């Protein structure tokens, strides 16, 4: 039955705008392999892996392994890995950041998630099956079909987390197959002398002015936690590269975009063992570490490869080893008898690193001021050059990196810049390359997700802009993403609240019109360390939020094949200046001092309840770059959201304006003044910030009405 005539034609048109999906941008996503033809078709981006797979099968056969599992990880569970550890990429040709390969004597398969399916089809040759399920159970099912009963499934235990190892063990339990750890990595063996060399860059001490406290103070704090723990552990084992770098105030360059170095640490009550390439330590770093020798603050320097054997010897005594399971491999974990283990998800060093002291907070704030200068320079440059047709995505990313590099204390980007125009911005992990880069246009939305490493902090910021006339759909989608960013940023919440409990505030304005985004809402960030710093954030395995933690807040929306929106800021968790009403015994409002209050608003106190509860928390946004006014529909914002936005813009002017003037960037200063003009409250929606008056809201309403009306 057709819709009744009372449904206006313009409402039907809006419904079409909001729900239609353009074709999947075939030109951008074709040229993938076709293994059904004879001969098979392989695009130029595919890698011939025949010799590599055959060599691996030979090594497997020599050891009696019927299957060999290859992950995308390194021995420290790092998010980014070095070229030397890119075993999965070398073996398969697939360069995505997430994946697992399994090779048998007659089959080979790669598992990866939906972010990388198209990339995998472009990079794999026909030696490989692409499996589009990522659960370990699906890998185990494939193995059970490919490996006969009694066969061995082998892997390197020093490349698998404890949880992953246990998941494989449970999935294969009772199947008659044997999960067999092999400490000699077979991919390394067949890679041979073509494998990239180990890192050789200098490991150096951070200058004192860029540290929150000395490494001796940090060691004393961890030892105090060991002493106060009910089980009184005798040692803490550190496997995460950030842990050792933070503890000793050392930095290196072994991992792209992350100033860390390959290392382990075993910190006991009375000794400290640092496993590292000793010859790589700068003289000042060596002197600092050895200044307390002999004694409990003497750092014994041992070669990196000696860590497993030293741990094996240490646990022969009457000891208890405290470790974080998230960053410890099964290979190290299995060396410690169960009765001598103290396990937590995260080590005490990882948790201490997550909560910045006042000095570290000030350092990160300062880094974000200079970073804002670089981003403002970039946005102004784009504003002037894009209309002339002179910029593509790759050139834009290079320009952004160069502007950051020119800032004081810069040490390069904190990750590969995401510079995405039009439909490419709908791919959450898209990064441009030279020769295959989309031209920036005034007719398309542009998303720039970039970050920098500075001696005083790590930054990460995303801004989405449009230099022409955005469609109503684009404008409302952007505004709702901004509303989500604002709602979470201004939220006041109880202490010890888990991020997962409150992250829906960032999604609610989108949910109100039936939209969502498929990535996390935020992640922790380091002080000149990792751009994604665990265990802070809004996911289920993150720790509760505490004052002193930094996290990103980054809602988004992605219209496949058309455009993408993300607005990302870094925010510090701080104590909220709450106003708590005091209720008198006689049934009326009373002030904290007990005097009778008037019949109007009650008197208040700040920060702490009379019950003695800890102060409530909120966020202080430290990213200081204005949003695109061209994409904001002010009529959708509540008065509270507009007030927040205007206050934020006042903060940007107060903090970034003087730095622009100090650097004699007058044109950028003028741009900042224009971009941070206060928004008029009179145009805001008379709602609580979840108004449903826009294009998307009307389309959502229509989507709900039409099926019933057509029945």
Q: Is the dihedral angle over the CA atoms 527, 531, 536, 538 positive or is it negative?
A: positive
Tell whether omega for the bond before 39 is within 30 degrees of 0, i.e. cis.
yes
Residues 508-532 have pLDDT tens digits of: 999 999 999 989 999 999 999 999 9
Looking at residue 30, what is its pLDDT? 59
Q: 441 pLDDT band (50/70/90 cuts)?
A: very high
Q: Residues of 383-403 as b/e, b for ≥16 C-beta within 10 angstroms?
A: eeebeeeebbbbbbbebbbeb
Q: 711 pLDDT band (50/70/90 cuts)?
A: very low
Token pair 């929606």 in the structure block, residue: 685
Radius of gyration over every alpha carbon of the chain, rounded to an integer in angstroms: 28
Across residues 408-432, what is the average pLDDT? 92
SS3 601: coil
Looking at residue 696, what is its pLDDT? 66
- Distance of CA 347 to CAs 78, 337, 539, Å? 15, 18, 18
Looking at residue 581, what is its pLDDT? 60
Tell whether omega for the bond before 289 is within 30 degrees of 0, i.e. cis.
no
Looking at residue 703, what is its pLDDT? 53
Residues 238-250 have pLDDT tens digits of: 999 999 999 999 9
Beta strands 272-275 and 321-324, pairing class: unpaired
Beta strands 523-524 and 533-537, pairing class: antiparallel
What CA–CA distance (Å, rounded) separates 684 from 643? 10
Token pair 């933070």 in the structure block, residue: 246
Across residues 630-652, what is the average pLDDT? 97
Across residues 660-686, what is the average pLDDT? 92
What angle in degrees, to the nearest 10, is found between the helix axes of 666-675 and 639-662?
A: 170
Looking at residue 693, what is its pLDDT? 57
Q: Is the pLDDT of residue 592 over 50?
A: no
Strands (E), 132-207: 152-155, 178-181, 204-205
Q: Is the pLDDT of residue 610 over 50?
A: no
Q: Residues of 221-245 as b/e, b for ≥16 C-beta within 10 angstroms?
A: ebbeebeeeeeebbbbbbbbbbbbb
- Total length of the chain: 711
Token pair 């935020």 in the structure block, residue: 522
pTM to 2 decimals? 0.88
What CA–CA distance (Å, rounded) separates 180 from 411? 43
Mean pLDDT, the chain, whole residue set: 89
Query: Helix count (H) and strand count (E) of the chain?
Result: 22, 29
Q: How many CA atoms lie within 13 A of 37 on its CB side?
A: 8
Q: Is the pLDDT of residue 552 over 90?
A: yes
Looking at residue 565, what is its pLDDT? 98
């Amino acid at each position: 039955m057709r819709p009744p005539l009372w449904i206006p034609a313009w409402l039907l048109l809006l419904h079409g705008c909001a729900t239609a999906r353009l074709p999947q941008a075939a030109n951008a996503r074709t040229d993938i392999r076709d293994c059904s033809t004879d001969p098979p078709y392989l695009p130029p981006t595919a890698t011939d892996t025949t010799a590599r797979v055959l060599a691996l099968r030979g090594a497997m056969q020599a050891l009696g392994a019927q299957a060999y599992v290859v992950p995308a990880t390194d021995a420290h569970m790092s998010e980014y890995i070095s070229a030397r550890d890119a075993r999965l990429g070398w073996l398969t040709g697939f360069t995505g950041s997430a994946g697992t390969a399994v090779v048998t004597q007659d089959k080979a398969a790669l598992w990866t998630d939906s972010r990388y399916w198209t990339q995998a089809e472009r990079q794999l040759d026909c030696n490989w099956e692409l499996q589009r399920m990522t659960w370990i159970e699906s890998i185990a099912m494939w193995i059970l079909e490919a490996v006969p009963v009694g066969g061995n499934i082998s892997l390197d235990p020093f490349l698998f987390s404890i949880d992953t190892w246990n998941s494989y063990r449970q999935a294969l339990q009772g199947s008659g197959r044997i999960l067999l750890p092999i400490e000699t990595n077979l991919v390394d063996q067949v890679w041979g002398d073509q494998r990239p060399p180990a890192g050789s860059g200098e490991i150096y001490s951070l200058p004192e002015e860029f540290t929150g406290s000395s490494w001796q103070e940090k060691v004393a704090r961890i030892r105090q936690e060991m002493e106060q723990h009910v089980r009184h552990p005798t040692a803490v084992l550190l496997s995460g590269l950030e842990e050792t770098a933070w503890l000793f105030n050392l930095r290196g360059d072994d991992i792209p975009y992350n100033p860390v170095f390959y290392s382990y640490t075993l910190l006991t009550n009375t000794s400290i063992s640092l496993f590292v390439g000793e010859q790589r330590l700068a003289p000042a770093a060596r002197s600092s570490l050895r200044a307390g020798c002999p004694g409990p603050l003497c750092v014994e320097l041992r070669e990196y490869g000696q860590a497993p054997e030293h741990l094996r010897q240490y646990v022969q005594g009457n000891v208890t080893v405290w470790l974080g399971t998230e960053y410890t491999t099964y290979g190290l974990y299995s060396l410690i008898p169960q009765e001598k283990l103290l396990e937590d998800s995260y080590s005490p060093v990882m948790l201490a690193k997550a909560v910045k002291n006042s000095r570290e907070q000030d350092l990160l704030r300062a880094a974000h001021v200079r970073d804002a200068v670089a981003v403002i320079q970039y946005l102004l440059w784009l504003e002037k050059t894009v209309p002339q047709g002179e910029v593509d995505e790759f050139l834009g990313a290079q320009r952004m990196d160069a502007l950051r590099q020119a800032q004081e204390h810069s040490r390069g980007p904190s990750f590969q810049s995401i510079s995405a125009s039009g439909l490419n911005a709908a791919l959450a992990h898209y990064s441009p390359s030279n020769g295959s880069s989309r031209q920036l246009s005034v007719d398309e939305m542009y998303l720039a997700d970039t970050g920098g490493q500075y001696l005083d902090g790590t930054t990460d910021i995303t801004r989405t802009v449009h230099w022409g006339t955005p469609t109503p759909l684009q404008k409302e989608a952007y505004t709702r993403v901004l509303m989500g960013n604002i709602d979470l940023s201004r939220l006041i919440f109880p202490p010890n609240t888990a991020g997962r409990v409150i992250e829906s505030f960032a999604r609610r304005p989108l949910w109100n019109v039936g939209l969502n985004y498929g990535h996390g809402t935020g992640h922790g960030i380091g002080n000149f360390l990792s751009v994604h710093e665990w265990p802070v954030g809004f996911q289920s395995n993150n720790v509760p939020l505490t004052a002193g933690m930094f996290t990103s807040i980054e809602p988004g929306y992605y219209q496949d094949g058309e455009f993408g929106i993300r607005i990302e800021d870094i925010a510090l968790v701080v104590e909220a200046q709450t106003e708590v009403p005091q209720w008198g015994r006689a049934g009326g409002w009373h002030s904290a001092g007990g005097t009778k209050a008037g019949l109007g608003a009650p008197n208040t106190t700040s920060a702490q309840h009379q019950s003695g509860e800890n102060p409530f928390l909120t966020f202080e946004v430290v990213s200081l770059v204005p949003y695109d006014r061209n994409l904001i529909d002010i009529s959708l914002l509540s008065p509270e959201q507009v007030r927040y936005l205007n206050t934020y813009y006042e903060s940007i002017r107060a903090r970034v304006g003087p730095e622009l003037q100090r650097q004699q960037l007058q044109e950028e200063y003028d741009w900042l003044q224009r971009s941070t003009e206060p928004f008029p409250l009179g145009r805001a929606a008379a709602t609580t910030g979840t108004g449903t008056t826009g294009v998307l809201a009307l389309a959502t309403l229509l989507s709900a009405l039409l099926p019933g009306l057509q029945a």
